[in-house]
């Protein structure tokens, strides 16, 4: 394909997403899953809302979007049980955190 002329994205369409910003439907949309999938995984304790006691009130941190995508991917790729997918995700997140700490220590 030939190079295209850049399309300017107007500033009003650019939004920095802060923590605890996503509703259940926004999280589902961002992960290409159904709202029911999100609901089931919250009930199972695999995904945790940053606030809200009922589904309509749930608000999820941005980091949860990355976590949910990772879990959904593992479930799909390996036919994994949600808890197993969550365990693998927990381990991957811990490795990432340890690597960040290593960098901070000058390693």
Partner 1 sequence: MEFKDYYQILGVDKSATADGIKKAYRKLARQYHPDISKEADAAQRMAEINEANAVLSDAEKRAAYDTVGAQAWARGARSGDDVRPPPGWNAGYEFSDSGPENFRANFSDGNGGHFSEFFEQMFGRAQAGEGTRARARRAYSDQGDAQPRMRGEDQHARIELELIDACRGAERQISLRGAKLDANGHVVPEERTLQVKIPPGVKEGQLIRLAGQGGPGYNGGPAGDLLLEVQIRPDPRWRVDGRDVIQRLRVAPWEAALGASVEIATPDGKAVEVTVPSGSGAGRKLRLKGRGIPSSNTPGDLYLELEIAVPGAVTPEQNTAWEALSGAYPGFDPRRV
Nearer to partner 1, 48 or 63 (CB): 63
To partner 1, the closest distance from the beta carbon of 60 in angstroms equals: 12
Site residues (CB under 8 A) for partner 1? 1, 3-9, 11, 13-18, 29-34, 36-37, 62-63, 65-66, 69-70, 72-73, 76-78, 92, 95-96, 100, 103-104, 106
Sorted by sequence, the CB contacts under 8 Å of residue 12 that are 6+ apart come out as none
What are the CA-CA distances from residue 77 to residues 24, 34, 38, 54 (Å)? 23, 17, 18, 30
Nearer to partner 1, 30 or 52 (CB): 30
Q: Which of 16, 47, 50 is nearest to 31 (CA)?
A: 47
What span, in angstroms and rounded, lies between the C-alpha atoms of 51 and 58?
Answer: 6
Nearer to partner 1, 48 or 101 (CB): 101
Nearer to partner 1, 27 or 53 (CB): 27
To partner 1, the closest distance from the beta carbon of 36 in angstroms equals: 6
To partner 1, the closest distance from the beta carbon of 37 in angstroms equals: 5
79 class by beta-carbon count within 10 Å (0-12 exposed, 13-18 middle, 19+ buried)? exposed
């Amino acid at each position: 394909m030939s190079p295209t002329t850049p399309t300017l994205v107007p500033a009003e369409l650019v939004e920095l997403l802060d923590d605890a910003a996503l509703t259940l439907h926004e999280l589902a949309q961002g992960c290409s899953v159904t709202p029911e999938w999100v609901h089931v995984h919250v009930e199972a304790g695999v995904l945790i809302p940053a606030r809200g006691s009922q589904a309509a009130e749930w608000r999820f941190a941005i980091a949860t979007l990355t976590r949910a995508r990772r879990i959904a991917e593992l479930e799909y790729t390996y036919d994994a049980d949600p808890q197993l997918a969550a365990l693998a995700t927990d381990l991957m997140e811990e490795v990432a955190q340890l690597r960040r700490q290593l960098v901070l220590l000058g390693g």
